[in-house]
Amino acid sequence: MAKPAWMKIAIRVVAGLLAVWIAFVAFVTWAMNQPPEKFGRVMSHMPGPVVFLIAPFETLWMQARAGHLKPGDPAPDFNLLKLDKTERVQLSSLHQPVVLIFGSYT
């Protein structure tokens, strides 16, 4: 028994939408694995909250930014701009304990 024409069209439309969704999620995943500046540029072109509604954003973000450090591993060396923007400070140049706090107290 042959499928009706409308069913063939519906299957093609659903397959096309699925392919577009997979490509979109792959693009967002790629963007999440880029440096923060590049990720920000990509996200600034996203239309409103669409990416949060149609992609598993939180799951992808947690996987992309999980990192490979484990408790007890030495901190990676990096530098940051001072608050007054006069100079940069290298983590390895500090000869005292350093506490980094990421998060919010609100």
Tens-digit pLDDT profile for residues 42-70: 989 988 787 788 888 888 888 888 878 88
Of the chain, the end-to-end C-alpha distance in Å amounts to 63
Q: Which of 104, 41, 35, 32 is nearest to 61 (CA)?
A: 32
Which pTM was predicted? 0.60
pLDDT at 7: 92
Tens-digit pLDDT profile for residues 89-104: 998 888 888 777 777 7
Residue 61 CB-density burial (10 A; 0-12 exposed, 13-18 middle, 19+ buried): middle
Look up residue 25 and give its amino acid.
V
- Decide: 45 and 55 in contact? Cβ < 8 Å: no
